[in-house]
A and B are shown apart, each in its own frame.
Chain A
Amino acid sequence: MSTTSPPQLTPEQLDAFGRELDAIRERVIADLGERDAAYIRRIIKAQRGLEVGGRTLLEVGFLPPAWLAGTAALSLSKILDNMEIGHNVMHGQYDWMNDQAVNGQAFEWDSACPSEQWRHSHNYMHHTHTNILGKDRDIGYGVLRMSEDQRWHPYYLGNPLYAVLLALFFQWGVALHDLEVDRVAAGKSSWKDKAGMLQAIWKKGRRQALKDYALFPLLAGPGAPFTFAGNLTANAVRNVWAFMIIFCGHFPEGTHEFTEEETEGETRGQWYVRQLLGSANLTGSPLFHVMSGNLSHQIEHHLFPDLPAHRYAELAVEVRAICERYGLPYNSGPLHKQFGSVVKKIVKLALPGSGGGDEPQEPPVKFQPKAARDERVPVAA
């Protein structure tokens, strides 16, 4: 695992880097308007159209062409719903529209995970503490060993198997994520505290399952098994796709992890650098970016999580140029390469040790000693 240390920036350089990114953000915020609103409405329209079309075709799923087309349309619909719409809307990217239909706190997605819990585990825990071991629970999702700094245990021999299962049932993995089952098992919290969350998951998951696995199949009468199989396949396609895109966001070769100590009291500039170093982009066509919910621009997403994601492609050009000027790495590659390195990591880390060379690892990034300032990160004004 060759994580070369990026160049050390002085506190002044870090501040300047942060200011440049702040300026991009402010410029986009001032420019939000009809274009962004029209975009998300168009995507929503496409998603609902695909869903109605797909489900209708699956009602006559005993005809093989209808089954194939219906399953494909429903898969695309679920991917759009969860990624380009759900994930991004729930980040508050469209809150400025003041429209309940795209309001971050009101939106529910077509997934077993209650949006309320997602917003906590993802928007807050993951985006604030990105790639900080022990704080960012997205590192391994409490199931996998995704970092050498997670201590090895014979349990992790099953790392590749767990990864396959997590990919197939990703929506349920995400649903259970915020429960922090591993912490309950370790006695750090109790099931009693989790009663409310369990109830919410049960309520949401049951309605999701009822719709996909009972009601729509029953409406198809004797064709029920075909509808059932189509819905099951669409959920699985969405699960595997989401797993691949999300695991390519922070685990490909070259992404960095951080310790709580080194990120203590970080400045805005350092926060930006951590987001940059902890994230990796995917290259591809415009359609690929849409189908990834623009999480293919994971770096831009982590720098600006609440800017409408369809703008990331434009911003990426500027962000990349800025990173080059500061000599900071910008991790980007095609899906097969990035995901290949993720798979390699999952397999290697099933075994004890780093799985790589025997050389002791440099800490991935060292910030300059904390400057004599104690300001909270955001409040620069």
Chain B
Amino acid sequence: MFTQTPQRFARRLLGSALADALTTPHGIDRYVELVRPAFSLHEVRAEVVAVRRATARSVTLALRPNDNWEGFRAGQFVRLSTAVGGVRHTRCYSPASSAHVGELIELTAHAQPDGVVSPFLRASARPGTVVSLSQAEGDFALPDERPDELLLISGGSGITPVMSMLRTLCHEGYRGRVAFLHYARDEHDVAYRRQLAELAAGHANVRLLYGYSRQSGAGELHGRFERAHLRAAEVDPAEALTFACGPTALLDTVRETWADDGLEERLHVEQFTAPARAQVDGAGHVAGSLRFVRSGVEAAGTAAPLLEQAEAAGLTPQSGCRMGICHTCTCRKLEGAVRDVRTGEISTAPDELIQICVNAPVGDVTLDI
């Protein structure tokens, strides 16, 4: 008992069956969070402890996660949730910090002009802000048994997971060769320019090469990625294990190059995809398919409300008024666009709650039913 810190003791007390019975039906989180917003018995929440705006578009957050955080492997991502304009949005971000630093996570968001969460974080995140996180996810990660040689390639905001890999390797005194190729518009648009320079200066096994698309004459590499850049970096893709992250165009070229050499096995890629926007012109039905993930049922979509279509597919989702009043049928739409049959309004947001009795699919829709 005496080995426990007071915090641990308090946490055990708050997590006890008695505390739960005293705070039924809301549970202890809903009380403690009013004075300690980052506290939760089970959820991962994190408090922003430092904010840096390194470039005109990016914001780098140092986050202190609560006790529920289980750490991450370099290269993995987390789902970060925060309320923007009252609505909770969730986006994926890869920590850019060393996986060996457990108490702080560093995330860098690049504000997209038509985005929601990143511009919000760029403009509004400040020390004390609390966000929700998932545990780390994803297979794009350094293998536990470190390879002898590594090639890291990133474009734009795709720098974060490979930055984490490089920092993790430097942190643990990795001796193998590491080449880091980064592509950006110009040198002012590189969020980790200073930190990369420091790492390269302090580690003889790290080589750093930049390619700029809008700044001729600067950078070690000329323009966008091409095979010649591998020679410039003195890397043999057959020898090095490669991790690449960035926009689709960059990754397509990388994939083709590796495929030409029959080296797909030696390449790991992670693509950053923005949530789907409406690809519809308005009222018309767009053909698509419906996926009901929990029941594992798929069906061709029609213009009818989703409730009717789910029932036609043999499912029995909860329902009530069938006119959009009682919210009995509300369920989570994981992906896709739907049209409110009452107003014609189309909603494309991923992971949102919809009333399936008054929403019809527009194209492919995935529901948590």
Which of B64-72, B173-181, B198-206, B321-329 is the interface stretch? Answer: B321-329
Would you call B326 and A210 a contact (CB within 8 A)?
no
Contacts of B25 in A (CB 8 A): 108-110, 204, 207-208
- Measured as residues with beta carbon below 8 angstroms from the partner, the interface class of chain B is 35 or more
Would you call A32 and B330 a contact (CB within 8 A)?
no
Q: Taking each of A22, A34, A109, A381, which has the highest tally of chain B beta carbons within 10 Å of its own beta carbon?
A: A381
Chain B residues 309-329 with CB under 8 Å of chain A are 320-328
Give the nearest-CB partner of A115 in chain B.
B25
Residues of A within 8 A of B (CB): 22, 26, 29, 32-38, 44-45, 48-49, 52, 91-92, 95-99, 101, 103-105, 108-110, 119-120, 123-124, 127-128, 204, 207-208, 210-211, 215-216, 305-306, 376-381
A373 nearest CB across to chain B (Å):
16
- Our pick among A52, A204, A380 for the contact of B31 (Cβ within 8 Å) is A52
Contacts of A208 in B (CB 8 A): 24-25
29 contacts between A and B (CB under 8 A): A22-B342, A33-B86, A33-B87, A34-B85, A37-B85, A45-B34, A48-B34, A52-B31, A96-B86, A97-B86, A99-B83, A104-B330, A105-B330, A109-B25, A110-B26, A124-B328, A127-B325, A128-B321, A128-B325, A207-B21, A207-B25, A208-B24, A211-B22, A215-B18, A216-B22, A378-B357, A378-B358, A379-B358, A380-B342
Would you call B330 and A381 a contact (CB within 8 A)?
no
Would you call B88 and A120 a contact (CB within 8 A)?
no
Contacts of A34 in B (CB 8 A): 85-86
- Our pick among B21, B325, B343, B352 for the contact of A305 (Cβ within 8 Å) is B325
Contacts of B326 in A (CB 8 A): 119, 123-124, 127-128, 305
Complex: A99 Cα to B22 Cα, angstroms: 24
Complex: A38 Cα to B87 Cα, angstroms: 11
Contacts of B341 in A (CB 8 A): 378-379, 381
Complex: A359 Cα to B340 Cα, angstroms: 48
Give the nearest-CB partner of A32 in chain B.
B86
Would you call A97 and B88 a contact (CB within 8 A)?
yes
Would you call B320 and A103 a contact (CB within 8 A)?
no
Given contacts A98-B353, A378-B342, A381-B343, contact A108 B26 (CB under 8 A): yes
Instruction: Tell me the total A-B contact number using a CB cutoff of 8 A.
Output: 120
Contacts of A96 in B (CB 8 A): 86-87, 353
Would you call B342 and A381 a contact (CB within 8 A)?
yes
Contacts of A49 in B (CB 8 A): 34
Contacts of B357 in A (CB 8 A): 378
Would you call B327 and A48 a contact (CB within 8 A)?
no
Contacts of A124 in B (CB 8 A): 320-321, 325-326, 328
Query: Does residue B30 face the partner (Cβ distance < 8 Å to A)?
Result: yes
Give the nearest-CB partner of B319 in chain A.
A124
Contacts of B353 in A (CB 8 A): 95-96, 98, 103
Give the nearest-CB partner of A378 in chain B.
B323
Complex: A208 Cα to B24 Cα, angstroms: 7
Would you call B22 and A128 a contact (CB within 8 A)?
no
Which 8 residue pairs across A and B have the least CB separation, nearest first?
A37-B86, A124-B320, A92-B327, A378-B323, A108-B25, A123-B326, A128-B321, A124-B326
Chain B residues 72-88 with CB under 8 Å of chain A are 83, 85-88
Would you call A210 and B323 a contact (CB within 8 A)?
no
Complex: A63 Cα to B80 Cα, angstroms: 48
Give the nearest-CB partner of A128 in chain B.
B321
Contacts of A92 in B (CB 8 A): 327, 330, 355
Contact with A along B21-56 (1 / 0, CB 8 A): 110111000110010000000000000000000000
Contact with A along B83-117 (1 / 0, CB 8 A): 10111110000000000000000000000000000
Contacts of A376 in B (CB 8 A): 322-323
Complex: A105 Cα to B25 Cα, angstroms: 14
Contacts of B328 in A (CB 8 A): 119-120, 123-124
Given contacts A26-B343, A128-B320, contact A306 B24 (CB under 8 A): no
Query: Does residue B138 face the partner (Cβ distance < 8 Å to A)?
Result: no
Complex: A215 Cα to B23 Cα, angstroms: 11
Would you call B330 and A33 a contact (CB within 8 A)?
no
Complex: A96 Cα to B352 Cα, angstroms: 8
Contact with A along B333-360 (1 / 0, CB 8 A): 0000000111110000001110101100
Contacts of A377 in B (CB 8 A): 323
Contacts of A306 in B (CB 8 A): 324-325, 327
- Our pick among B31, B85, B327, B342 for the contact of A104 (Cβ within 8 Å) is B327
Would you call A95 and B330 a contact (CB within 8 A)?
yes
B25 nearest CB across to chain A (Å):
4
- Our pick among A35, A98, A101 for the contact of B352 (Cβ within 8 Å) is A98
B81 nearest CB across to chain A (Å):
9
Complex: A216 Cα to B34 Cα, angstroms: 21
A41 nearest CB across to chain B (Å):
9
Would you call B24 and A211 a contact (CB within 8 A)?
yes
Chain B residues 4-22 with CB under 8 Å of chain A are 18, 21-22
Would you call A215 and B323 a contact (CB within 8 A)?
no
- Our pick among B85, B88, B322, B327 for the contact of A33 (Cβ within 8 Å) is B85
B332 nearest CB across to chain A (Å):
9
Would you call A378 and B21 a contact (CB within 8 A)?
no
Contacts of B86 in A (CB 8 A): 32-38, 96-97
Contacts of B26 in A (CB 8 A): 48, 108, 110
Complex: A34 Cα to B86 Cα, angstroms: 4
Given contacts A208-B24, A381-B342, contact A120 B320 (CB under 8 A): yes
Contacts of B352 in A (CB 8 A): 98
Give the nearest-CB partner of A98 in chain B.
B88
Complex: A130 Cα to B25 Cα, angstroms: 29
Q: Taking each of B26, B327, B352, B357, which has the highest tally of chain A beta carbons within 10 Å of its own beta carbon?
A: B327
Contacts of B343 in A (CB 8 A): 26, 29, 381
Give the nearest-CB partner of A271 in chain B.
B323
A229 nearest CB across to chain B (Å):
18
Give the nearest-CB partner of B353 in chain A.
A95
